[in-house]
Amino acid sequence: MTREQLTDIVRWVIGIFATTIATWFAARGYASQETIVGLLNSESVVGFIVTVGMVVMGWMGRTPTNLVLSAAKLPEVKEIAMTSSELMQEVVAAKPEAKIVSTMSR
**In the structure, what pLDDT confidence band is assigned to residue 84 with cuts at 50, 70 and 90?**
confident
Same domain, 78 and 92: yes
Same domain, 34 and 55: yes
What mean pLDDT, rounded, does the chain reach? Answer: 80
**In the structure, what pLDDT confidence band is assigned to residue 51 with cuts at 50, 70 and 90?**
confident
Q: What is the mean pLDDT of residues 41-63?
A: 83
What gap in Å lies between CA 16 and CA 76, rounded to an integer?
42
Please write the tens of the pLDDT for every residue from 65-81.
Answer: 888 888 888 888 888 88
Same domain, 57 and 70: no
Question: What predicted TM-score, i.e. pTM, was given to this entire model?
Answer: 0.54
Same domain, 7 and 53: yes
Same domain, 57 and 7: yes
CA neighbor of 41 nearest in space, from 73, 72, 12: 12
**In the structure, what pLDDT confidence band is assigned to residue 99 with cuts at 50, 70 and 90?**
low
Same domain, 78 and 53: no
Question: What domain range is 47 assigned to?
Answer: 3-61
Q: pLDDT above 90 covers what percent of the chain?
A: 0
Domain count, the chain: 2
Same domain, 57 and 9: yes
**In the structure, what pLDDT confidence band is assigned to residue 106 with cuts at 50, 70 and 90?**
very low
Same domain, 86 and 50: no
**What DSSP letter does each residue of 46-68 carry, written as one string?**
HHHHHHHHHHHHHHHHTSHHHHH
